[in-house]
Amino acid sequence: MITGKNCIAGDFSAKGNVEFKTMDPKLNIENPTTFVEATKEEIEEAAISAWNAFKVYRKVSGKQRAAFLNAIADEILALDQELVDMYVTESGLPEGRAKGERGRTMNQLRSFAELVANDDWRENTFDAAQPDRKPLPKDDLRKTMIPLGPVAVFGASNFPLAYSTAGGDTASALAAGCPVIVKSHPMHAGTSELVASAIVKAAEKTGMPKGVFSSINGGIQAGVDLVNHPKIKAVGFTGSITGGRALFDIAAKREEPIPVFAEMGSVNPVIITPSALSKRGNEIAKTYAGSITLGTGQFCTNPGLLLTVKSENTQDFVKELAKETIALDPQCMLHPNIKSGYEKKGADVTSQSGVEVVGKVEGELEPNYAASVVATVSGTEFLANPKLHQEVFGPFSMVVQCKDEAELLQIIEGLEGQLTGTLIAEESDSLDLMEMVDALQNRVGRIIYNGVPTGVEVCPSMQHGGPYPASTDSRFTAVGTHAIKRWVRPVSYQSFPKNLLPDHLKG
C-alpha cells in the first residue's frame, strides 16, 4: 500500500508540510495519493544513517551483497500487478513496456550480483617484494578497488524502473559496497515507493545494515540539500543537461568536491550514405520511423538527427520517412510538462531559417499525446545555426541534407558530445567509411553499424555515456556491469602484514 511518505533508513517518515500528487497522463488527472516532500532534517537523518551503514556495508562480502541484490529482484517481482498498475498509471506507458522494464531492472540487479559474487571486478594487482634488488630493494605492493561511500541517485523521468529507484545506478552502487539514497522522480513517486519497499524487505531478509538504503520525495531543493550533504560521496543522475549540469556545479563547489556521473542530452546522429539510400531508402525510412516514435521518442538514444548527402534519392527518402512516421499512431507522453517542453523545443527548431517541416501529425489529439514531426534543413543552414543542434525530447527528427561528404564530416566534427552515432552504409560504399567512423568515434560513446540507436543492451561491452554534454565523464558507462567503476577508487597497500590486508588481497 502506498503511504506517500519518505523511506528513511528503512522506516517511513513524513515530517514535512509540502505535498504533491503524481498524474495519470493518459486520463490527464491527478492520482489520488498525496506525497510529502522530505525535510532537511529527514535528509540529514538519511545521510547520517547511510554513513553509519557504510562503515559496515563496505566490509560485507561480495557473496552477501550478491544475495542482497538478488533478493531485491525477487521482492520487485513479488510486487506483481500492483507495481505494473502503478507504473502505467503514473507514466502513461503501456503494460507491456512496464513488464519489459521490470524484467530489465531485475536483470541488472542479477547481473551485478553475479559480478560481485567473486572479487575479479576489483582488478586486484600484486607486485611481490624484492628485498635483494639493487641499488634499492622493492617493497610488496598490492592494489584494489574500494567503495567511495554513500551515493545519491536521482530517478529518471523516462524510465520509472530501469533508471530509477532500483535501476542501474542503485544496483551498481550497492554492488560496489556503497549505501544509496534515492531522490525519487516526482512524476512517478508511487512507483518509487513500491520499489523502495522491496529494497527495504530485501535488506531486512539478507541482514544488511540499517541505513544501506533510503528514498526521499521532493523537488529541486531536496536534490540540492542531498548533494550538498558532506556524507554523500558521489551522485548518479539521468535527465536533462540543465539538471545534470546544475548538480555537477553544486558538487564541484562543495568544501569536498565529489564526482557527479550524469547521463544527459543527445541527438544521436545517424549518417546514411547515398548508396544505402539508393538501395534501400524505403526500408531505412520504415525502420527509422519506428525508432523515432518508439516510446513517444522519450529515449535518450532517440535518433534526432539524420545526415546524408543531398540527391534525388534523399528527397524521396525524406518524403517516405515523413509518411511512415506520421502513419504511426500518436502516443501519450510521460507528463503534461514533458509534452509542453516537446512542443516548445520543436517549435523553436522548426521556426529557424531554412527549416522545412515535411511531416507532422495533424488534427486534434488526446491530452498529453504527441504529434510526431519530421523536418529537414540544408547542411549549410545547420552549420550556421547552433539552435538546430539542440535535442527535442520526443518523436522528432531532422534530416540534414549536406552538399557533399566534406560538409557532412564538418557537421559531425562540430557536434557536441553524443551518446551514440550510427552509420547506415553498404559494403561497396563509395564514401570513405573509415573517415566517418573516426569522426563519430571522437564525438560519441557507442557507434552502431546498420542498426538503430534505440535499445541499450545490458552487458559488459555496452558503453552508455559520451563526451560532454552526453555525460559528465566519458570514461564511464551508466549501463552494463562496468558501471560499478563509477563508485570505487583504487588503494595501494605497501609492505602490509597479511593479517591487516583485506581478504581479497591476501593471496
Residue 505 is assigned to a structural domain of this protein: no
The cell for 190 is 508511487
Beta-strand relationship, 305-309 and 396-402: parallel
Name the percent of the chain lying above pLDDT 90: 98
pLDDT reported for residue 220: 95
In this predicted structure, the answer to whether residue 143 has a pLDDT above a threshold of 90 is: yes
Taking only the tens place, the pLDDT of each residue in 338-377 is 999 999 999 999 999 999 999 999 999 999 999 999 999 9
Residue 463 is assigned to a structural domain of this protein: no
* Residue with grid cell 504511426, as numbered in its chain: 328
Judge whether 263 counts as a catalytic residue. Answer: yes
Residue 197 is assigned to a structural domain of this protein: yes
Please give the DSSP secondary-structure letter assigned to residue 181.
Answer: E
Q: Are residues 222 and 278 in the same domain?
A: no
Q: Are residues 88 and 161 in the same domain?
A: yes
The whole-number average pLDDT for the span 190-216 is 98
Q: Are residues 312 and 374 in the same domain?
A: yes
User: What does pLDDT average to over the chain?
Assistant: 97
Q: Are residues 286 and 210 in the same domain?
A: no
Distances (CA, A) of 296 to 220, 291, 359, 363: 26, 9, 16, 17
In this predicted structure, the answer to whether residue 1 has a pLDDT above a threshold of 90 is: no
- Structural domain count of the chain: 2
44: domain CATH number? Answer: 3.40.605.10
More confident residue, 300 or 430: 300
Residue 504 is assigned to a structural domain of this protein: no
280: domain CATH number? Answer: 3.40.309.10
pLDDT reported for residue 507: 79
In this predicted structure, the answer to whether residue 431 has a pLDDT above a threshold of 90 is: no
Are the C-beta atoms of 181 and 47 separated by less than 8 Å?
yes
Q: Are residues 259 and 275 in the same domain?
A: no
pLDDT reported for residue 257: 98
Q: Are residues 326 and 309 in the same domain?
A: yes
In this predicted structure, the answer to whether residue 436 has a pLDDT above a threshold of 90 is: yes
Report d(CA 110, CA 93) in Å as an integer.
Answer: 25
In this predicted structure, the answer to whether residue 15 has a pLDDT above a threshold of 90 is: yes
The whole-number average pLDDT for the span 191-218 is 98
Q: Are residues 430 and 298 in the same domain?
A: yes
Q: How far does CA 403 lie from the centroid of its chain?
A: 35
The whole-number average pLDDT for the span 8-24 is 97
Which H or E run contains 80? Answer: helix 80-91
Q: Are residues 255 and 294 in the same domain?
A: no
Are the C-beta atoms of 408 and 307 separated by less than 8 Å?
yes
Answer positive or negative: Cα dihedral of 208, 211, 217, 221. Answer: negative
Are the C-beta atoms of 102 and 112 separated by less than 8 Å?
no
Which H or E run contains 396? Answer: strand 396-402
Residue 156 is assigned to a structural domain of this protein: yes
Are the C-beta atoms of 87 and 188 separated by less than 8 Å?
yes
Q: Are residues 257 and 285 in the same domain?
A: no
Residue 336 is assigned to a structural domain of this protein: yes
Judge whether 332 counts as a catalytic residue. Answer: no
Are the C-beta atoms of 64 and 206 separated by less than 8 Å?
yes
In this predicted structure, the answer to whether residue 432 has a pLDDT above a threshold of 90 is: no
In this predicted structure, the answer to whether residue 117 has a pLDDT above a threshold of 90 is: yes
Report d(CA 200, CA 190) in Å as an integer.
Answer: 15
What are the helix and strand counts (H, E) for the chain? 14, 21
In this predicted structure, the answer to whether residue 428 has a pLDDT above a threshold of 90 is: no
User: What residues make up the domain containing 212?
Assistant: 21-123+150-264+471-478
**Amino acid letter at 438?**
D
Q: Are residues 215 and 299 in the same domain?
A: no
Residue 132 is assigned to a structural domain of this protein: no
pLDDT reported for residue 382: 98
Banded model confidence at residue 265, pLDDT cuts 50, 70, 90: confident
Residues 3-23: b if buried by 16+ CB within 10 A, e if exposed: bbbbbbbbeebbebeeebebb
**Amino acid letter at 92?**
G
Name the active-site residue from 90, 101, 263, 320.
263
Are the C-beta atoms of 236 and 486 separated by less than 8 Å?
yes
Which H or E run contains 260? Answer: strand 260-263
Q: Are residues 199 and 320 in the same domain?
A: no
DSSP 395-455: SEEEEEEESSHHHHHHHHHHSPPEEEEEEE--TT-SS-HHHHHHHHHTTEEEEEESS-S--
* Residue with grid cell 533510503, as numbered in its chain: 214
Q: Are residues 283 and 185 in the same domain?
A: no
Task: State the burial class of residue 499 (Cβ atoms within 10 Å of its Cβ: 0-12, 13-18, 19+).
Answer: exposed
Name the active-site residue from 7, 300, 332, 402.
300
Residue 459 is assigned to a structural domain of this protein: no
Report d(CA 225, CA 39) in Å as an integer.
Answer: 9
pTM for the full model? 0.97
In this predicted structure, the answer to whether residue 278 has a pLDDT above a threshold of 90 is: yes
Report d(CA 308, CA 468) in Å as an integer.
Answer: 24
Report d(CA 31, CA 187) in Å as an integer.
Answer: 11
